[in-house]
Amino acid sequence: MPSGASAAPRHRVRLDQPRAPRRSLLPEYDPEAFGRFSERIARFIGTGRFLVWMTLIIILWVVWNIFAPRDLRFDEYPFIFLTLMLSLQASYAAPLILLAQNRQADRDRVTQEQERKQNERSIADTEYLTREIAALRMGLGEVATRDWIRSEFQDLMKEMDDRRLFPQDTSRGSDEGDR
């Protein structure tokens, strides 16, 4: 070590241990809970009930601010505060709806992947069963069936009749024909 330089011990980063959590100035939230909340809001915004309530509130707002006594009106004719409130509602509704759509798209993607894997398994199973049935048919092609034995027996009987292995008495045969 040089004599004039002071060596301060350096802090070594340990790669085999997780880092200590850092303090953040940003608020912490549960993304899953926030996603569920946004989906509930998006579902409500997309209903007729929301449109009816929104329409009633706007009508009441306008009627109140037109016909109420002057000292009780809170938003005079151009209804600037109403416009601000509707803009605020729209500025929050759009991202919440997009978040809900993204979550639904993620769920759909997972479902499609699972269905694709299931279809692949079904196709593989079907191909396996097709091969097994073909092998059974080939094996059964060599097995003597009842119909095959019957047809062979009938062919033998016909052949025996043709060869006349059991010759009939001609004299007796003519007597039978006379009767």
Tokens of 68: 């109420």
Cα angle 87-42-44, degrees, rounded to a multiple of 5: 95
Asked if residue 62 lies in contact with residue 120, where contact means CB atoms within 8 angstroms, the answer is no
Whole-number Å distance between alpha carbons of 99 and 166:
95
CA pseudo-torsion sign 108, 113, 115, 119: positive
The dihedral built from the CA positions of residue 152, 153, 159 and 162, taken in this order, carries a sign that is negative
Token look-up 């109403």 returns 82
Distance in angstroms (rounded) separating the CA atoms of residues 42 and 64: 29
**Residues 79-138: tens digit of each pLDDT:** 999 999 999 999 999 999 999 999 999 999 999 999 999 999 999 999 999 999 988 888
- Mean pLDDT computed over 175-179: 50
Which amino acid belongs to residue 40?
R
pTM over 0.75? The answer is no
